[in-house]
Copies of this chain bind each other. A is one copy, B any other.
């Protein structure tokens, strides 16, 4: 008598829960609707709150849910497609781009960036801060590193740090011939600052996009952008406008 478990545990409870909740979201809930609170949900499914939370975390990671401390858990809208690489490469700051410059300082970049720029590790570069929003939600922050050699005509550094100087640097960049750009995407977690700016908690999953801008055979600038992984689908090419309504948890054939 007394089997080890009712279900012989073929798979963990939080994973079963995730599946059940996914189906419930697909069939019984609509975007923006608020779910019952975690304590009630846990009781309803007969699991500890920690287990229920593990399932909710999965769903938030997949962009199906949005949780806010003090508020509640709501059904998230489909991810927005955010264009990060286009067929016709353009400099950051071009007329059509979606970024808002907020600040600019002259400082030594992180070592990894210095290596990409092939500048000395202690050599200060223009560091432009920008942010990007869709509708009203912040989706990304960026640090754009521009060596002084890329913008030699920039007026003396008497311009105070700030958005004005950021725009000046970007304007000077446009004058260079852009030969091409390389990009890479990887998973990261938001640091305290980025988290605040993206309206998330520290450690929230983000997509880190590194872009190298080339001119005359050398690297003219490097951008390191941090996108909210829960709400964004990064698009390359003409994929921008397309809506994809699939479950990010891949269901094999």
CB-nearest residue of chain B relative to A125? B253
Q: Which residue of B lies closest to A14 (CB)?
A: B203
Q: Please, how many residues of chain A have a CB less than 8 angstroms from a CB on the other chain?
A: 70
Q: How many copies of this chain? A: 2
Tell me the bound Cα distance from A236 to B236 in angstroms.
9
Q: Which residue, of A113, A192, A246, has the highest number of chain B Cβ atoms within 10 A?
A: A246
Chief secondary structure at chain A's binding surface: mixed
What's the least CB distance linking A43 to chain B, in Å? 21
Given A202-B11, A245-B112, the answer on whether A182 and B239 have CB atoms closer than 8 Å is yes
A212's partner among B12, B192, B239 (CB-CB below 8 A) is B239
A residues contacting B by CB (< 8 A) are 11-12, 14-15, 18, 58, 61-63, 79, 81, 85, 87, 105, 107, 109-113, 115-116, 127, 129, 143, 180-194, 202-203, 205-208, 210, 212, 224, 226, 229-230, 232-239, 242, 244-246, 248-253
Asked whether B234 lies within 8 Å of A193 as measured between CB atoms, the reply is no
A107–B253 contact, CB under 8 A? yes
Interface centre among A85, A113, A188 (most CB of B within 10 A): A188
Q: Apart from A183-B235, A186-B248, what are 16 other A-B pairs with CB-CB below 8 Å?
A: A12-B202, A14-B203, A15-B192, A15-B202, A61-B189, A61-B205, A62-B187, A112-B246, A182-B242, A184-B233, A187-B187, A188-B248, A191-B249, A191-B250, A191-B251, A208-B248
